[in-house]
Amino acid sequence: MRHSQNSILLKSIATDLGFSYCGIAKAEFLEEEAPRLEAWLKRGYQGKMSYLENHFDKRLDPTLLMPGAKSVISLIYNYYPEKDLAKENPTAYKIAKYAYGEDYHHVIKDKLKIFLQRIEESIGHVEGRAFVDSAPVHERAWAKKAGLGWIGKNSLLLNKRMGSFFFLAELIVDLELEYDGPIKDYCGTCTACMDACPTDAIPQPYVVDGSKCISYFTIELKEEIPAEVKGKFENWIFGCDICQDVCPWNSFSKPHTEPQFAPANELNTFSKQDWEEITEDVFQKIFKHSAVKRTKYEGLKRNIRFVSEKK
């Protein structure tokens, strides 16, 4: 009974803090994921993202990340914008929707700290660690296990009521709770995401070749972008939303209500010329608190050059 009451309490705190969904799974070794992750790495789909090869065991076993862990609390935080800037100005360069506003790592991490405080205030001392796309946490696998959605053919978590334009976050705690179960896969025979990817980064359902993804080329890759993908970026210069934009489940996306995710005013009117002439000072001003800073000024200029040059 206590486990059930505590689970209800945690889900209530999640709602209060603006999370759309909260699911709970038992902290245990992810047996099903181990061979999949190993095969993915062996194929070289991580590209130059060598950090994905590190801490293999920790990615699959939360008790190695936090000794004494009993539960993984998975959370969804919506970032779908009021205005899709790529559609508002279709001839301009595009950045992924998740990067419109302030860096989600900071926005959500602050909420998770409050979450842990609220748990302690309500239940007593609890050991816990918070994660937002950080550390070797297999977040989509945990969200699936906690019943927040299913893994789509583009390898993203899909939720029947809100699609996939959301961030995932986790709290790993030493608290036993009532656990949620996974839900079924609702992709059916649809292959919209696979068909739409201009760089063929989804070679088979549920498997993404990270080394061919536009997000990889424009964010993770630190060297020059390979010539063979020239002309395939469809004006994306930071990240890419193509496989999400075409997903039928994203027709259910509703705009977020997080003021910190609102785009900088300049982005609403940025033209191709503005992007091409962007100075380091302007870059620092607009993207001071943005995830776009991850690619750095020189990286963004490289992306713009690559997309703007003719084949």
pLDDT tens, N- to C-terminus, the chain (311 residues):
689 999 999 999 999 999 999 999 999 999 888 878 877 878 777 777 766 666 677 888 999 999 999 999 999 999 999 999 988 888 889 999 999 999 999 999 999 999 999 999 999 999 999 999 877 788 999 999 999 999 999 999 999 999 999 999 999 999 999 999 999 999 999 999 999 999 999 999 999 999 999 999 999 999 999 999 999 999 999 999 999 999 999 999 999 999 999 998 889 889 999 999 999 999 999 999 999 999 999 999 999 999 998 65
The whole-number pLDDT of residue 48 equals 72
Q: HEC string of the chain?
A: CHHHHHHHHHHHHHHHCCCCEEEEEECCCCCCHHHHHHHHHHCCCCCCCHHHHCCHHHHHCHHHHCCCCCEEEEEEEECCCCCCHHHHCCCCCEECHHHCCCCHHHHHHHHHHHHHHHHHHHHCCCCEEEECCCCCCCHHHHHHHCCCCEECCCCCEEECCCECCEEEEEEEECCCCCCCCCCCCCCCCCCHHHHHCCCCCCCECCECCHHHCHHHHHHHCCCCCCHHHCCCCCCEEECCCHHHHCCHHHHHCCCCCCHHHCCCHHHHHCCHHHHHCCCHHHHHHHCCCCHHHHHHHHHHHHHHHHHHCCC
The pLDDT of residue 54: 66
Q: What is the pLDDT of residue 50?
A: 64
The model's pTM is 0.94
Active site residue 133: yes
- pLDDT, residue 23, reads 98
Pick the closest to residue 149 from 124, 170, 166 (CA basis): 166
Specify the length of the chain in residues.
Answer: 311
**Catalytic member of 133, 174, 185, 245:** 133
Answer whether 129's CB lies under 8 Å from 174's CB: no
Say what the pLDDT of residue 43 is: 77
